[in-house]
Structure 1
């Protein structure tokens, strides 16, 4: 498939994986079965994993398996996939998630209509499946001129603003020029979005749910799972890039809620609130954080489960 009016056309799908041969085969098939088929699917095996390599062998001639000698994590695996890719565009997919058949076709149509397709990142909504139900997030697209950090963290309800890596499509030149930071243990995707925006990229989010994300509580991902302390440290380090409103929103929602769920001491939760007040918090975010801290632990657990498991 060649470029149309200078718009990048061929797609390389990049899937990092480790230790889940059955899941990754399903993910690969959902990528191959697109109404606008990809040029290739690059599966990066993050460390020695003979079972996964065997499961992928002979699956389809478009499947390229890149085995890494040692595990470097999700960011390093995705970077390796981008380095091996030959398509004009990169579409990321996780090994336990699935695409709906029209995902690439609809994203490419948006890219083709963009003013500057070579600096445009296209995402979509997704079904977040807990096993007990599915919620469609995000509930809106970025507003014109809205900084991406504020879209992600200055929100009125759960899932209002969201960029999930398995929904992302962007030009290979953009991904190669601005790779994910493989040294980061947490929030490497958020860091990447901020750097893409600083480099001049614009973000478009299709409201249609075109990806099914495994959000079950037992999910184990190549992306590191952060603790409240790590999230707080990350937000303080990147405070200037987040901006005062997004900084406070991140501290209260991401770090703060994680601290409450882990039953951190009251003094710690108070310190998190003080930290958030150093930015520009919205009164509603402060009120919600205080209410969350005042709620009994069983009620907090129930609310958290409802946030993830309510059916849209």
Structure 2
């Protein structure tokens, strides 16, 4: 019988048995072995259940939900069933490098506050190239909402947090659950709400410890564009952002979702939103204009050139 875990790894999944097993094996292969892996299957899924049963590791537990509730709900269920003091999140289509938990626990042990959230850099892997994200880590005293949203380059952002990089106290994930029903920006929403608590600080491992697989021919939540839902979320959470960050998010992230509509009305609505409730900078206006004027394919090619990646000519 394995010793009591101090880390619980929570993996939500549905209808992707091969990917789920790959994620599970990367967690079980960690150099930090005092862990359990809690896979929350989001609704009846016999294939995934069968594939996981073949893994054959007593540290693996599987919870199958009676009906689908999407990833945020599955993460909350996993945290609610976690036995470890710490919970680490892993999406089913990502992988961890072997020292991920070991390195994050070292940083957590040296934290200044009792409930540290520890993230890391990651390797964003596409069929064309690998890119290490985030490009920079937060500066001392920098508002995190601005770190996550304010651009320093015309075609890309610098700050970033992704679910599969997050290690946090299990108690904190229960105290600050993921927002059920939110389709995009789930980790941004959670991180900004978590760091509002006085006992929480956000730390980053400088090295890349996660493989973020961005297969360009596979559907991902992060490729969906529910801009109306995101605008409603943004308006309902204005207090999470500084005025500078609110404008930057509206004119870059939100506009990238809405621009395919080619709607003059939407263009004006988002510009008014940023100017009324935020404080845009010059780069925000330039970003906003290029997002709305350049076709998405051309914009992606220019971004690849700027970042030194092979250009996708499709």
Q: TM-score normalized by structure 1?
A: 0.90
Change (3 A) 1:142 1:218: same
Residue equivalent to 2:151:
155
Match of 2:194 among 192, 196, 210: 196
- 1:45/1:304 Cα in 2 relative to 1: closer, same or farther (>3 Å)? farther
1:104 and 2:90 aligned: no
My pick for the range that moved more, 221-230 or 266-275, is 221-230
The equivalent of 1:95 in structure 2 is: 92
Instruction: Give the match for residue 6 of structure 1.
Output: none
Q: Deviation at 1:182?
A: 1.6
Name whichever of 50-59 and 265-274 sits farther off: 265-274
1:127 and 2:123 aligned: yes
Tell me which residue corresponds to 2:285: 286
Distance 1:267 1:185 in 2: 24
Bigger mean CA deviation after superposition, 302-311 or 137-146: 302-311
Q: Distance in 1 between matches of 2:213 and 2:48?
A: 19
Q: Distance in 2 between matches of 1:68 and 1:33?
A: 26
Secondary structure, aligned partner of 2:234? helix
1:44/1:287 CA distance change after superposition, 3 Å? same
State the superposition RMSD in angstroms: 2.3
3-state SS of 2:195 partner: helix
Quick one: distance in 2 between partners of 1:181 and 1:309?
Answer: 36
Question: Could you tell me how far 1:295 is from its partner in structure 2?
Answer: 2.8
Between the aligned partners of 2:76 and 2:107, the Cα distance in structure 1 is: 25
Contact 1:13 1:38 in 2 (8 A): no
Q: Secondary structure at the match of 1:145?
A: coil
**Which residue of the partner structure matches residue 35 of structure 2?**
39
The aligned counterpart of 2:205 is: 206
Segments of 5+ residues of structure 2 without an aligned counterpart are none
Write the distance in 2 (CA, Å) between the matches of 1:226 and 1:265.
15
Mapped to 1, the partners of 2:251 and 2:292 lie a distance apart of: 11
Q: 2:138·2:159 contact (CA, 8 Å) conserved in 1? A: yes
In structure 2, the residue matched to 1:227 is 226
Distance in 1 (alpha carbons) for counterparts of 2:300 and 2:112: 45
Question: Are 1:48 and 2:48 matched, yes or no?
Answer: no
Contact 1:141 1:206 in 2 (8 A): no
Q: Is the 8 A contact 1:10 1:39 kept in 2?
A: yes
- Using the TM superposition, give the Cα deviation of residue 264 of structure 1 relative to its aligned residue in structure 2, in angstroms: 2.4
TM-score, normalisation: structure 2 = 0.89
Alignment coverage as a number of residue pairs: 304
In 2, the alpha carbon distance for the partners of 1:122 and 1:296 equals 37
Mapped pair 1:215 → 2:214: yes
Q: Do the aligned partners of 1:231 and 1:254 also contact (CA within 8 Å) in 2?
A: no
Match of 1:167 in 2: 165
The 1:21–1:113 alpha-carbon spacing in structure 2 relative to 1, beyond 3 Å, is same
What whole-Å deviation, never above 9, does each CA across 1:128-176 have from its counterpart, x for those lacking one? Answer: 1121111111011112222221110012132410010000001111111
Q: Any idea what the Cα deviations from partners look like across 1:229-284, whole Å, max 9, x if unmatched? A: 22222222212221211110100111112222x14213322321222112111111
